[in-house]
Amino acid sequence: MIFEILPVEIIREFFEYLNGFDIYQSFYGLNRRLTAIVLSTMESHIDLREVMSNEYIQMLHLVNPSHVISLKLANRWERNQINSVIRIYSIDTFTQVRSLTFDLLSITNLEEIVDILPSLTSLVSLTITSNENPPSKIYSKLFYRLRHIKRLRLMSLKGKLACWGNIDIRQWHLDTSYNFRHLQINPLNFSHFSLLFPYLPHLRSIETSLCFGNAPIPYLPRLRSCILYFGFYGFPELGDFVRQCPNLKILKLETTGIDVVDGQQWENILTRALSRLQHFNLLVEFMGDYDVESCRASFQTQFWIQRATQVNLVESHMHIAPDDIRTVYQMTIDFNYQNQHQSYN
């Protein structure tokens, strides 16, 4: 069957799985019927992050920004893509947009849009990645003015343990609740963020690089998912943290500390503190001479077997110098498990 003679409803349904730019590039101008369908469907979800030229400019002139639901831009292949789009349409003209992604956003761009974003009343999710560190005042303004959205992701491209801005919540004026359900931010210093958590009544998921401070870790009974990146913290700090999150269902950890590869220690923590946990994933990268087989064997007790735990070890080599080759290990411990006798109310 020839694609172009399919019923309009089927073509529209097919286009729902495609990026708006791909629809435009593949089908626009082939014939009047397909062009009409393209113009009525390509606007919903537009992702230009992998577009390597300015071919999207002509497409954007055909778009009604108030029809866009999801918009993803990046200063990747074309360094000024975000600027180019903003020059065509001001951000506040995307009145129905629910999801915005800005990759490699410059501080200049951020300063331009931070006062406009709150006008997007339909916005649910915002993702920003950057190689730069925004000033503290921009950071706090962004956080405060977008308190109505459900998902906020602020990521540094300098690495998972890198800082994204200068965060000092002690200087913030906290007088209202934030609506965030999912928060991804680097780094999370509990000495400061413990002040913020009382204002996050809806928070269910957090992803961050972990920086423990001197302040007590707040009690977080509403958290259901936690993804942490950390360096050389051991079981005392991790144990203190998970005991404050008794209702976690998902716990994912990524670290460079070999000390946490201990099945018995984790069995004790998970049994006593996280009885509701369904998915556990621990990724550890380490270098040097270690008894990796003993580490692996510690995850072969009945507790781990019952959960069908997968333990994978990948070995590679790093050339530190021409005559200095180090062995690098990457070990992953993972299970998906749901005890049918547990209640998750």
Q: Tell me the three-class secondary structure of 109-167, residue by residue.
A: HHHHHCCCHHHCCCCCEEEEEECCCCCHHHHHHHHHHCCCCCEEEEEECCCCCCCCCCC
User: Are the CB atoms for 22 and 41 separated by under 8 Å?
Assistant: no
**Whole-angstrom distance, CA of residue 109 vs CA of residue 82:** 8
Q: Which residue(s) pair with 324 in the sheet?
A: 321
pLDDT category at 5 given cuts 50, 70, 90 is confident
Residue 163 scores a pLDDT above 70: no
More confident residue, 164 or 226: 226
Residue 212 scores a pLDDT above 80: no
At residue 340, the pLDDT reads: 44
* pLDDT tens for each residue of 315-344: 887 777 777 777 888 899 999 987 544 443
Residue 70 scores a pLDDT above 70: yes
Would you kindly state where each structural domain of the chain is located, as residue ranges? Answer: 1-42, 219-345
**Whole-angstrom distance, CA of residue 95 vs CA of residue 67:** 8
Residue 136 scores a pLDDT above 80: no
Q: Whole-model pTM?
A: 0.84
At residue 86, the pLDDT reads: 87
**Whole-angstrom distance, CA of residue 172 vs CA of residue 149:** 19
Nearest to 129 by CA among 173, 86, 87, 159: 159
What is the average per-residue pLDDT within 189-197? Answer: 71
At residue 220, the pLDDT reads: 86
Residue 233 scores a pLDDT above 60: yes
Percent of the chain with pLDDT over 90: 40
pLDDT category at 140 given cuts 50, 70, 90 is confident
**Whole-angstrom distance, CA of residue 297 vs CA of residue 202:** 40
**Whole-angstrom distance, CA of residue 14 vs CA of residue 119:** 32
**Whole-angstrom distance, CA of residue 114 vs CA of residue 116:** 6
At residue 249, the pLDDT reads: 96
Q: What contacts 202, CB < 8 A, 6 or more positions away? A: 150, 177, 178, 179, 180, 181, 222
**Whole-angstrom distance, CA of residue 32 vs CA of residue 115:** 41
At residue 339, the pLDDT reads: 59
Residue 247 scores a pLDDT above 90: yes
What is the average per-residue pLDDT within 271-282? Answer: 94
Q: What contacts 235, CB < 8 A, 6 or more positions away? A: 259, 260, 262, 265, 269
**Whole-angstrom distance, CA of residue 308 vs CA of residue 304:** 6
